[in-house]
Amino acid sequence: MTGREFTENMIDGGLNSVCVTCDEDYMIAMIYIADCLTFKRNIDLETFNVRRERDKMVDTLLSMLDFE
């Protein structure tokens, strides 16, 4: 494989780590960050709660369903 070398210095805004235990939780964290950026809210990874964010996501998706 050929290409340019990639370093952390090439990332605008720097790097942060997200403390999660599995891929699903990582995706929820990324959605939380995207949501904060979209609605211009502060990203607060110190108080980030995976369970709360997952529940919000499930509630939002279920609210779009039309149960009869």
For residue range 28-42, what is the model confidence (pLDDT) as tens digits?
999 999 999 999 999
Q: Two tokens at 61?
A: 């998706």
Let me know if residue 5 belongs to a domain: no
In a domain, residue 6? The reply is no
Instruction: Quickly count helices (H) and strands (E) in the chain.
Output: 2, 0
- CA angle, 43 as apex, 47 and 31 as ends, to 5°? 95
Q: Is the pLDDT of residue 56 over 90?
A: yes
In a domain, 3, yes or no: no
Report if residue 21 sits inside a domain.
Answer: yes
The structure's pTM equals 0.68
What is the extent of the structural domain holding 28? Answer: 13-63
Q: Is position 2 within any domain? A: no
Per-residue tokens: 45: 């990874």
Q: What is the DSSP letter of 33?
A: H
Task: Count how many domains the chain has.
Answer: 1
User: Mean pLDDT over all residues of the chain?
Assistant: 85
